[in-house]
Structure 1
Amino acid sequence: MRFFPLIAVALALSSAAPALGQGATGLPAPEPGSVDTLRARKREYTLFRPVPKALMRPLSTDRPDATESAYSVDAGHFQVETDVLRLGRSRFDEQTAQEELAINHANLKLGLSHNVDLQVVVESYTIQTEGSPETGTRRAGFGDITVRLKRNLWGNDGGATAFALMPFVKLPTGRNCGNGAWEGGIVTPFSVQLPHDFTLGTQLQATLNRDSEAAEHFLELAPTITIGHDLYKTLGGFVEIASAWDTRARAWTATLNGGPTLRLGDNLQLDTGINLALTKDTETTYFLGFSFRR
């Protein structure tokens, strides 16, 4: 459990770090001197005193790409982001393959303050099959739970860039699905608004994973970069490269991700897409999901 001090320090930093910048990309450009006024007004609102609709930020989600959003949920508001269905498949040779069907893997988010939200990621139901058709194994059931705390450092309510810190801890709640181990790490999402309705997002995620066979933790570093674009008022899309470096095996994995998003009002978004494997033994996945805020 040597990684718990690291997680505790990350949680403390994300909760105590001072706000460093202007405030959220996506809002109309403020008048000179009004950004600080807006930020000061929104500091008055808390979990038990929600931000009024007129001051809420545009809907910003951590899905469907792997790159997390740098923006937090407005104080006192609740947001659900879920994979309704996600089907993944990786083939190791002609006889052996691994498949996973995820059903309603949901991220439940609650705005605690003007720049902090609490997230609980629940793997509601998973079906995993591995091996050849004759001798393969099948597992199914409730999976692990991940608790995350996002702290936006700047850009929540105005400005061309935004940055956040998001430490997380994975709880080994899955009996049949999961590795039965505590894991954790930190994510550092960064966002830039580009001309002509383009958005650039990038992050580095550092995770202490558990190898059950070796009975030890190892560090995985996962950089990503994504570009989103609004095609029409309600239709957008993204293209992303997501990768991971296993520091123990000294090996890269990578996927090319993309898909459309459909906004149905200010508080509902649908999405679908594919994560296409670019490296050997990497899973290719297809997904369908939605995000909702109230």
Structure 2
Amino acid sequence: MKRLAAALLLLPGAAYAEDRDYCPARPGLDTPPCTIAPGHVSVEVGLADWTRADTAESRTDTILIGDILVRVGLTDSIEAEVGLTSFGHSRTRDKSSGGVESADRAGDALLGLKANLHHPDGSGFSVAVEPFVTIPVGRAPIGAGDWGAGVMVPLSVDLGRKLSLQFTPEADAAVNQDGVGRHFAVSGTVGLGVGISDTVNGTIEFQELRDEDPSGRTTQSLASVSVAWMRRGDWQLDIGTAVGLNRDAPDAELYAGVSHRF
């Protein structure tokens, strides 16, 4: 009888996890507070990502292919995360001399854990804590060259009428530009999610990032627009773009990706 009672107590939680909508971390600048239900795995892949950064002295184009994030549901409110940038190509042209430097590298790995504190399905008001570390698997200019760490506190609020407000503050021990040691960096991203239809969602976001790198302090301002199409509840396709709003930020970014829940 005790075993039967315990099993009945577990049934609502199991049904809740099974009925939970799929919530990929892609696309956009914000991070969703929702977690993957236990017993499920989400594989999220950046198929292609191009970024252009122009200065008075040079132009740098960076292409990433196979930027992978795997999220594993451990409990009803906790997930583990493993990420890797499979391949990156960087090309920098000196505007005065015309010289070109290029490199093909793998990027760094990421290990993280997200613990949702309220509404793990992301409904209503939802908030989570997400610490992570980066491991220097790749080399510069795609890899950072040293380990880094950080923590995010993503949250979202359902505003009704297919609108949601998202906010992600983040603090990092970011790797120095020379690839040795770390410094403090902090950012905040705010976004408005819009349900265009039952399967298509759009997001408009703004991000401010303050970086205290010893080589020079910078403040980056970015704006982003992204669209995601959910297919059959377990597949998502996405596209997005971001533009720099000041001189410290990259000028433009375009990307596309796919996510699947197993």
TM-score class, shorter: 0.7 to 0.9
8 Å CA contact 1:42–1:114 kept in 2: the answer is no
Alignment of 1:214-293 (within 5 A): 215-247=180-212, 249-283=216-250, 284-293=252-261
Alignment CA distance shift 1:213-1:198 (3 Å): same
**What is the distance in 1 between the residues matched to 2:24 and 2:234?**
11
Which consecutive unaligned segments of at least 5 residues does structure 1 have? 1-37, 44-50
* Letter of the 1:279 counterpart: N
Alignment CA distance shift 1:195-1:88 (3 Å): same
TM-score normalised to structure 1 length: 0.79
What is the CA-CA distance between 1:62 and the residue it aligns to?
1.3
* Letter of the 1:285 counterpart: E
8 Å CA contact 1:143–1:175 kept in 2: the answer is yes
8 Å CA contact 2:146–2:179 kept in 1: the answer is no
**What is the distance in 2 between the residues matched to 1:272 and 1:42?**
36
* Letter of the 1:112 counterpart: L
**What is the distance in 2 between the residues matched to 1:41 and 1:282?**
49
The residue aligned with 2:5 is none
Alignment of 1:1-294 (within 5 A): 41=11, 55-93=18-56, 95-132=57-94, 134-157=98-121, 160-176=124-140, 177-213=142-178, 215-247=180-212, 249-283=216-250, 284-294=252-262
Displacement over 3 Å in runs of 4+? 38-43, 51-54, 212-216, 247-251
* Letter of the 1:167 counterpart: P
Query: What are the Cα deviations for residues 215-234 of structure 1, in whole angstroms up to 9, with x where unaligned?
Result: 44211101000111111122
Query: What are the Cα deviations for residues 29-81 of structure 1, in whole angstroms up to 9, with x where unaligned?
Result: xxxxxxxxx996466xxxxxxx5698331111211111111011000101011
**What is the distance in 1 between the residues matched to 2:245 and 2:100?**
25
* Letter of the 2:54 counterpart: R
What is the CA-CA distance between 1:276 and the residue it aligns to?
0.8
Alignment CA distance shift 1:158-1:221 (3 Å): closer
TM-score normalised to structure 2 length: 0.88
Alignment CA distance shift 1:157-1:109 (3 Å): closer
Once the two structures are aligned, what percentage of the paired residues are identical?
Answer: 22
**What is the distance in 2 between the residues matched to 1:109 and 1:268?**
14
What is the CA-CA distance between 1:159 and the residue it aligns to?
5.3
8 Å CA contact 2:34–2:122 kept in 1: the answer is no
Three-state SS of the structure 2 residue aligned to 1:65 is coil
Alignment CA distance shift 1:39-1:87 (3 Å): farther
8 Å CA contact 1:171–1:183 kept in 2: the answer is yes
**What is the distance in 2 between the residues matched to 1:39 and 1:257?**
44
* Letter of the 2:244 counterpart: A
Three-state SS of the structure 2 residue aligned to 1:151 is strand
8 Å CA contact 1:109–1:118 kept in 2: the answer is yes
8 Å CA contact 2:110–2:135 kept in 1: the answer is yes
8 Å CA contact 1:207–1:219 kept in 2: the answer is yes
Which consecutive unaligned segments of at least 5 residues does structure 2 have? 1-7
**What is the distance in 2 between the residues matched to 1:112 and 1:96?**
46
**What is the distance in 1 between the residues matched to 2:133 and 2:110?**
6
Report the number of matched residues: 249
**What is the distance in 2 between the residues matched to 1:214 and 1:286?**
26
